[in-house]
Amino acid sequence: MKVLLCSVLMIGIISSLESTTTRLRSMGNLQIVIDDNTNKIDLFNFGNNPCGLFSNEDTNIVDLDVLYGEETSKIDTIECDTTYITYGNAVPFELLEFIPIFDKDVFQYIPLLTAPRNRLFYVKRNKSERPDLWGNVPKKQAMGFGVTYGKLEQKFTDGKDNIGGPALSFIYDRIQSPNLHLGFEGEYISTGYNGDEEFEKASLSNFKLTPAVSFIPSHFITIGAKIDYHHPSCSFGTGENESVYSGNAFNFSLSTIANINNYFETGALIGYKILSAKEENENFSLKGFDVRLKPRVSLPNLPLALGGLIDIREIGMLDESENGDTLYHNKYTKMTFGGGPVLEIQYLLIGIEYIYSTLTLKERFLVIDTTETSISTVRLGGEIKPVSFLNLRGGYEYVKEKERKQDAGEIVSRTIGTGFGVPLKKFVFDVSYNRIVIEEMEIEKIIEDNLYMVSIRYIY
């Protein structure tokens, strides 16, 4: 098993990017200052806790998200012969987090990893308190069913390969008493890789079970706790060249949500994860923690709100042989600080965010090597409503990434977003387009992405 530098860095970057909606994608990927369907400071969105499903929204919904994207690249003035086509993110974050896939040649570069997946999501909320025939008062509850799918095709001069697959999920939230919620979530992800050659095969999967609970001591505060159990597994190659990886992981998180009359709201989360896995004659383990704080303040009598984010993550990875010899030991730390204002008046909304992140990787193989990287992000986006049934949107995102060493090259990403929304009584239609240009200055490489998204929400 090779050193998982790429895997660690990608996990750190991706996990800090919430899977934004089509609306926010067209507004510069704003994630901190704007309150949106998947960006609320509540137990379900921020805490990722199933016990927040009932209170997340007031209605029953059916959401459909469809995505299509293309990527091309060139070095200097020479066009590369590889084109990527994506139908939603092909490799969900859970697979990247617990399966060391980046040490395999076919997974060393996967484009558009932060793109959402094609998704169908149904939520039914039962609010009735009418007694049944036997006089029993039913418990308020919410159930959600989700199906997602992602696929990535790589086309080159003499062939093509593809990776992708579906995921199924079920979420349940039951109000056991006015101050107590019980919840459960189950998910299964399956992803396969097929190359031109018979031996170029891979199969990846992850099975997750999540019991959860939440307690509401007052109408200002909600406290939630959950334990995720993951069973990641994969196989690479075929026949005598096949290698099998399998493991068990636990992720515990405790989150608190505070909301004071919608003027001040904040989310705080502490998480801890462990993984124990085996591949052939090697034992692989992972330990990590996550601390997050996300406040948002609305100023009284002013159409102005301020949002912030603090996110600190650390992951330690150890790879040992069967006799206990250390093959490598890595420690990765990511710190993110960000914030900004949003102005919202009757027909206009404008937001701006600045985010600064540092990535530190301490790698112990034969010697100790430290890699430090800084990432600066600026996002600007807005929405205007010229008529009651139409929202026009636009935004811009600028990201600069650089290692902290002399003569290190920079990676600069620029994203232009545009789109529109049509809110009707029972339906909401959203469309967005992203044009992404990534420049790797040191090798004069330019990557160009075009991403299209359509979302339909049915409310009943």
Angle at Cα 181 formed by Cα 180 and Cα 187, nearest 5°?
Answer: 160
Structure pTM? 0.88
Q: Is there a contact between 446 and 74 (Cβ–Cβ < 8 Å)? A: yes
Q: Mean pLDDT for the chain?
A: 87
Q: Which residues pair with 251 in a beta bridge?
A: 228, 273
Residue-wise pLDDT tens digits, 250-279 = 999 999 999 998 889 999 999 999 999 888
CB count within 10 Å of CB 240 equals: 6
Q: Is there a contact between 26 and 384 (Cβ–Cβ < 8 Å)? A: no
Sign of the CA dihedral with 318 first, then 312, 415, and 453 last: positive
What DSSP designation does 80 have? P
pLDDT value, residue 37 = 81
Distance CA 236, CA 280 (A): 11
Checking if the pLDDT of 73 tops 90, the result is: no
Across residues 98-110, what is the average pLDDT? 67
Residue 159, C-beta contacts closer than 8 angstroms, at least 6 positions apart: 196
Distance CA 167, CA 94 (A): 11
- Closest-CA residue to 117 (of 191, 208, 54, 50): 191
**Selected residue with higher pLDDT from 401 and 300:** 401
- Residue 15 phi, psi dihedral angles, 5° rounding: -65, -20
pLDDT range class, residue 139, cuts 50, 70, 90: confident
Across residues 392-415, what is the average pLDDT? 89
**Selected residue with higher pLDDT from 12 and 41:** 41
Q: Element (H or E) spanning 54, and its range?
A: helix 53-56
Across residues 67-82, what is the average pLDDT? 83
Checking if the pLDDT of 290 tops 60, the result is: yes
Residue 267, C-beta contacts closer than 8 angstroms, at least 6 positions apart: 41, 42, 46, 47, 255, 256, 257, 258, 292, 293, 294, 295
pLDDT value, residue 10 = 45
Across residues 6-27, what is the average pLDDT? 59
pLDDT value, residue 12 = 43
Checking if the pLDDT of 458 tops 90, the result is: yes
Across residues 200-218, what is the average pLDDT? 93
Across residues 369-379, what is the average pLDDT? 90
Sign of the CA dihedral with 20 first, then 21, 24, and 29 last: positive
pLDDT value, residue 7 = 43
Q: Element (H or E) spanning 11, and its range?
A: helix 5-15
pLDDT value, residue 235 = 87
- pLDDT above 90: percentage of residues in the chain: 57
pLDDT range class, residue 108, cuts 50, 70, 90: low
pLDDT range class, residue 196, cuts 50, 70, 90: low
Ranking 176-185, 296-305, 317-326 by mean pLDDT, the lowest is: 317-326
Distance CA 112, CA 450 (A): 10
Across residues 429-454, what is the average pLDDT? 91
Ranking 100-109, 203-212, 372-381 by mean pLDDT, the lowest is: 100-109
145-169 as b/e, with b when 16 or more CB fall inside 10 Å?
A: ebebbbbbbbeeeeeebbbbbebeb
Best-predicted range by mean pLDDT (89-103, 121-135, 228-242, 255-269): 255-269
**Selected residue with higher pLDDT from 104 and 57:** 57
pLDDT range class, residue 106, cuts 50, 70, 90: low
pLDDT value, residue 189 = 96
What DSSP designation does 220 have? T
pLDDT value, residue 170 = 98
Checking if the pLDDT of 413 tops 50, the result is: yes
Ranking 102-106, 116-120, 302-306, 386-390 by mean pLDDT, the lowest is: 102-106
Angle at Cα 332 formed by Cα 327 and Cα 333, nearest 5°?
Answer: 165
pLDDT range class, residue 104, cuts 50, 70, 90: low
What DSSP designation does 425 have? S
pLDDT range class, residue 327, cuts 50, 70, 90: low
Residue-wise pLDDT tens digits, 430-442 = 999 999 999 988 7
Q: Is there a contact between 210 and 252 (Cβ–Cβ < 8 Å)? A: no
Residue-wise pLDDT tens digits, 222-243 = 999 999 999 999 888 776 777 8
Residue-wise pLDDT tens digits, 22-65 = 999 999 999 898 888 888 999 999 999 999 999 999 899 999 99
Greatest alpha-carbon span in the chain: 77
**Selected residue with higher pLDDT from 335 and 199:** 335
**Selected residue with higher pLDDT from 128 and 4:** 128
Coil, strand, or helix at residue 374? strand
CA 127 to chain centre: 30
Q: What does the chain come to in residues?
A: 460
Token pair in block for residue 326: 């250390």
Checking if the pLDDT of 150 tops 70, the result is: yes
- Residue 402 phi, psi dihedral angles, 5° rounding: -150, 140
CB count within 10 Å of CB 459 equals: 16
Domains and CATH numbers, the chain: 5-459 (2.40.160)
Checking if the pLDDT of 166 tops 80, the result is: yes
DSSP codes of every residue in 102-167: TTSGGGS--S-TTSPPEEEEEEEEE------TTSPPPPPEEEEEEEEEEEEEEEETTEEEEEEEEE
